[in-house]
Structure 1
Amino acid sequence: MTEAPHAHFRRHRFPAEIIAHAVWLYYRFPLSFRDVEDLLAKRSISVSFQTVSEWAAKFGVKFAHQIRRCSRGNFADKWQLDEMVVTIKGKKYWLWRAVDANGYVLDALLQSRRNKLAALRLMRKLLKGQGTTPRVLVTDKLRSSSAAKAVLMPGVEHRSHEGLNNRAENSHLPLRRRERRIMRFKSARQCQRFVSTHGQIANLFLLHRKYLSAADHRQLRAHAFSTWREIALSIDA
């Protein structure tokens, strides 16, 4: 019996499985491109960190887009919004993030302002991406969020309290770890691309292990890997 040929992306020398694995390593764990290069070298795969960087930029967004399409409409109807400051080349930006009640990332948007217009941009992006309105919207005490919500979702229940949107606040932690690992983001474009991709890949592998038996966890993890492989190999690049 002959081994089945590996799937390849067009104009790429390495098989699609290797490219997808490199992209998964970079976005799934707080690793640098050089770390991924070393991990691949351990498996006798000789590839430079510059190539890994190109793969992450080109395919990460494609994979995230496919994951987003597959998961649309499967999130909880309680949304939590929060914003965190990100400094890029000495300039302060605000990363606006929305998650559902289970901690899954709905969307993230990097902006230079923390005002009503910025909140409106995030909420419009959320409503367009999810195709529905939430039952409950939770924010901190920022008045800009309340003003934007009153314009776009006047009939949605709004809860504004510092301690209620802890899931949104906790969702910032992986980004902070990555920010320290790469010694800050180099540009606003790089940061936006990373958060847009990282959030969707993190969603796929967020299994809430605390509430699962070992057998259930293994089964869900295997399903996540299977879904990742299907998505990766379905990309027409």
Structure 2
Amino acid sequence: MQTQRISYKRHRFQPQIIAHVVWLYIRFNLSLREVEELRLECGLDVSYETIRRWIVKFCPLIARNLRRRQPRLGNVWHLEEVVVKIAGRSYWLWRAIDQHSVVLEEILQSRRNKRNRTVVAACLISG
């Protein structure tokens, strides 16, 4: 499965600049005006409204391409149980992992019993 190419046609700025602006906004949780100021310091005069339009247009495409790059989950899952101490109290950390040791889900509980284990397993598997 190939990732869809993002088209930057009919845009005044180069694709690298647009991608960098979108990355700044998403990665560092900046406001549109803060991103505008950062670009102005680099010599690029881009309004916050233009940045907002780029965010609306390109973020869903970038997110879709990133999701497609993620490896597929394995078909064998395991439920792992670990006791951890937090502030002197024991808690049970339940983790669902696949055969490639990718953590699918985690739940932290203060009690451990057989009923909890089956409920946790059902919750983790159902998603």
> Normalising by structure 1, what TM-score?
0.31
**1:56–1:140 CA distance, 2 compared to 1 (3 A):** same
Q: Is the 8 A contact 1:78 1:137 kept in 2?
A: no
Find the aligned partners of 2:50 and 2:78 in 1 and give their Cα distance.
Answer: 40
Please state how far the C-alpha of 1:138 moved relative to its aligned partner: 3.8
**1:137–1:23 CA distance, 2 compared to 1 (3 A):** closer
Tell me which structure has the larger Cα radius of gyration: 2
Instruction: Give secondary structure in 1 for the equivalent of 2:67.
Output: helix
- Whether 1:68 and 2:67 are equivalent positions in the alignment is yes
Please state how far the C-alpha of 1:30 moved relative to its aligned partner: 2.0
Deviations 1:157-191 (A, max 9, x none): 3579xxxxxxxxxxxxxxxxxxxxxxxxxxxxxxx
Q: Per chain length, whose mean CA-contact separation is higher, i.e. which structure has more relative contact order (CA < 8 Å, sep 6+)?
A: 1
**1:33–1:139 CA distance, 2 compared to 1 (3 A):** same
> 2:29 maps to which residue?
30
**1:157–1:137 CA distance, 2 compared to 1 (3 A):** farther
Structure showing the higher strand proportion among its residues: 2
- Whether 1:157 and 2:121 are equivalent positions in the alignment is yes
Find the aligned partners of 2:103 and 2:122 in 1 and give their Cα distance.
Answer: 9
Find the aligned partners of 2:49 and 2:105 in 1 and give their Cα distance.
Answer: 42
Find the aligned partners of 2:14 and 2:78 in 1 and give their Cα distance.
Answer: 41
Superposition pairs for residues 36-51 of structure 1, below 5 Å? Answer: 36-51=35-50
> 1:86 maps to which residue?
none
Runs of 4+ with deviation above 6 angstroms? none
**1:36–1:74 CA distance, 2 compared to 1 (3 A):** farther
Letter in 2 for 1:35: E
For structure 2, the 5+ residue unaligned runs are 1-6, 80-94, 97-101, 110-117
Please state how far the C-alpha of 1:42 moved relative to its aligned partner: 1.0
Deviations 1:34-71 (A, max 9, x none): 00001111111110001111111110110110010011
Q: Is the 8 A contact 1:26 1:36 kept in 2?
A: yes
Please state how far the C-alpha of 1:9 moved relative to its aligned partner: 1.1
Letter in 1 for 2:49: Q
Superposition pairs for residues 77-92 of structure 1, below 5 Å? Answer: none
Please state how far the C-alpha of 1:137 moved relative to its aligned partner: 4.8
Superposition pairs for residues 9-20 of structure 1, below 5 Å? Answer: 9-20=8-19
Equivalent residue pairs, number: 89
- Alpha carbon RMSD of aligned pairs, Å? 3.9
Letter in 2 for 1:157: A
Please state how far the C-alpha of 1:72 moved relative to its aligned partner: 3.6
> Normalising by structure 2, what TM-score?
0.55
For structure 1, the 5+ residue unaligned runs are 1-7, 80-99, 102-133, 142-149, 161-237
Superposition pairs for residues 56-205 of structure 1, below 5 Å? Answer: 56-73=55-72, 137-139=105-107, 157-158=121-122
Structure showing the higher helix proportion among its residues: 1
